[in-house]
Amino acid sequence: MACSSVARMKLRFFVYPSMPGGTDQTLRPFLWRAANLYPDTEIVSRTHQGIDRYTYADYDDRTAQLANALDEHGIVEGDRVATFCWNHHRHFETYFAVPTIGAQLHTINPLLPDEHIQYIVDNAEDQLIFVDPSLEPKLASAAADAPEFEGVDFVIMGDAEGEHLDATPYESFIDGQPTDYDWPVLDEDQPAGMCYTSGTTGNPKGVEYTHKMLWSHTMATLTPQGIPMDDDDVVMPVVPMFHVNAWGMPFTATAGGAKHVYPGPSPDPADIAGLIEDEGVTITAGVPTVWLGLMDYMEDHDVDLSTLDRVIVGGSAAPEAMIRWFDDHDVELLHAWGMTEMSPIGSVAHLKHDIAGADYDTQIDHRSKQGLMVPGLEFRVIDDDGEEVAWNGEDFGELWVRGPWVTTEYFMRPEATEEDFEDGWLKTGDVVTVDEEGYIKIVDREKDVIKSGGEWISSVELENAIMAHDDVAEAAVVGVPHEKWQERPVAFVVPGEGADEDALREGIMDMLREDYPKWWLPDSIEYIDEIPKTATGKFSKKDIRDEYSDQSLVEGSVPEEAAPESDD
């Protein structure tokens, strides 16, 4: 720890072997660059014990120690090593140690139900699972008397033994191991990562990422048209590391030599605000509900966002009001879209140079969309007749995507592969329009678009419009079966504190009437305490439909003026 940066560079310098054929599209060079060029740049982590910080040089040492420990444990090339963890430095150590010894890192979503966890551990054939202390009871519950966990070993992330599992403390696991490692030359098509979709029906579907896929994804996101990160950035992924590798941010930040900040277990808005202030965060990312929480927190607390340049939003669309709110605080809110099957980034809502010079409302209109496809990917939009849809901003179709970091199959699920892929194209299930400039706008998921009287209503667009009301905290819109019109929209709203519910209901309807045809208007506005969330923080419309909505909400309630066929 006392040696100089120059000394560290001399100690760490070596000629990295090239891949056969002269290629080297693997993850290891990203860490090599960070450890050699930025040995003193910090990695900061909020843990159960407090703030932990060290440097890329220290991280490089500990990654080598973990690699040696995995060897000693018996992990060999092709084995799958899983994590059941929040965002912190130890979890980050597995990101490079596991793939670069030739094993495969499988990040498990701890918010999934036990039966799904049992299924994916069995399906992936995990050999070893790293688990956080706070998540140990959850994993123990899933593992109890479950044959799917036979032969699986556990390491608990910290320096204490497990209370519910026979688990080795992480610090004991790596203690005494050498701080150098003879990293193997790996084929770029070697599987490096694995993540399962958090589907709402059926078992989750496994997606494998090769080194080449993760390398390509990282290089694309480093471009100005992606989500670039430089050596003067401080990057804090709030999006979970168990969710598609935190959108690839740990790899991108390392490749760029940026400082990492990890918010740790279950960060609340106060934790997020404190880390932004204390660590000088410049780039952060998460689903809209995270930023709605921060916005609400800042109503009663003075938070300094002066270092923050950019907030990345994905998972679901950010309301236009949220984009304007961050603009008012001199922070760019940048829309990104992707999928587990895409490693995951697909499009980013950067402004073309001519649009950047347009009026503010025009800019907001484009920034509210899912944006432009990043370099390296191709897309098409296909209608119900199998024909490509024109880029006119009006016609709908399903978005199909292909490219070097887009998978072409699900792990051991040929029937799902046959359903979701065609001739190398991923059929995303997202219904979109594309404007003349090529900006993609997600109208809805195929399963969530509301089909009323032969016409389509975008639940996403209605939700964003409703959440633009000052007295609305959250809103979700679902289609409810209707005897005559097939489906009708019903809005489920979480009112803001102190809101007059009767006045709010009328205010929402008045606001919607200004911008939408009569037949788009919700037949009912129902108040609930909280919008149910999926395991990745998105609004769970399936849970809303199951728990709250029934036909009585719309039976006999559609005025003739709201009927689709009556609107001119």
State the catalytic residues. 197, 341, 451, 456
Rounded distance between C-alpha atoms, residue 310 and residue 295, angstroms: 15
Rounded distance between C-alpha atoms, residue 209 and residue 216, angstroms: 11
Element housing 96 (H / E) = helix 89-100
Rounded distance between C-alpha atoms, residue 348 and residue 313, angstroms: 10
User: Do 274 and 456 contact (CB within 8 A), yes or no?
Assistant: no
Rounded distance between C-alpha atoms, residue 65 and residue 181, angstroms: 8
Question: Which residues are 421's β-sheet partners?
Answer: 426
Strands 425-434 and 234-237: unpaired
- Residue 433 — φ and ψ, nearest 5°? -120, 160
- Residue 22 — φ and ψ, nearest 5°? 90, 5
User: Do 44 and 264 contact (CB within 8 A), yes or no?
Assistant: no
User: Do 406 and 341 contact (CB within 8 A), yes or no?
Assistant: yes
Rounded distance between C-alpha atoms, residue 332 and residue 328, angstroms: 9
CA 379 to chain centre: 20
CB under 8 Å to 15, separation ≥6 — which residues? none
Tell me the residue type at 427. K
CB under 8 Å to 209, separation ≥6 — which residues? 191, 192, 193, 194, 195, 245, 343, 405, 407
Structure tokens at 485: 């019109």
Residue 493's SS3 state is strand
User: Do 250 and 33 contact (CB within 8 A), yes or no?
Assistant: no
User: Do 369 and 458 contact (CB within 8 A), yes or no?
Assistant: no
101 backbone φψ class: left, alpha, beta (φ>0; ψ -120 to 50): alpha
